């Protein structure tokens, strides 16, 4: 199972391309669907389901 390609946080799309790296060495990606730029955490840390739900809730509260 390959986890190298980041997923767009908006549409769960994998139509993402690597953009230029930013100053803190983390690679930056851009979604081809919605043009959203995002940085994926390069560490292979397992995020708990609770944390994911919390992040999504915070995102929704900020967007809506």
Site residues, Zn ion (CB under 5 A): 8, 10-11, 13, 31, 33-34, 36
Q: Report in angstroms how near the CB of residue 29 gets to Zn ion at its nearest.
A: 10
Closest-by-Cβ residue to Zn ion is 31
Q: Report in angstroms how near the CB of residue 17 gets to Zn ion at its nearest.
A: 11
With beta carbons less than 8 A apart as the criterion, state whether 19 and 36 touch: no
List of E strands, 1-64: 16-21, 27-31, 37-39
Gap between the Cα atoms of 51 and 48, Å rounded: 5
Q: Report in angstroms how near the CB of residue 14 gets to Zn ion at its nearest.
A: 10
């Amino acid at each position: 199972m390959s986890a190298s390609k980041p997923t767009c946080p908006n549409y769960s799309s994998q139509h993402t391309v690597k953009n230029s790296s930013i100053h803190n060495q983390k690679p930056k990606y851009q979604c081809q669907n919605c043009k959203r730029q995002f940085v994926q955490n390069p560490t292979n840390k397992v995020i708990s389901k609770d944390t994911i739900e919390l992040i999504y809730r915070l995102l929704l509260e900020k967007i809506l």
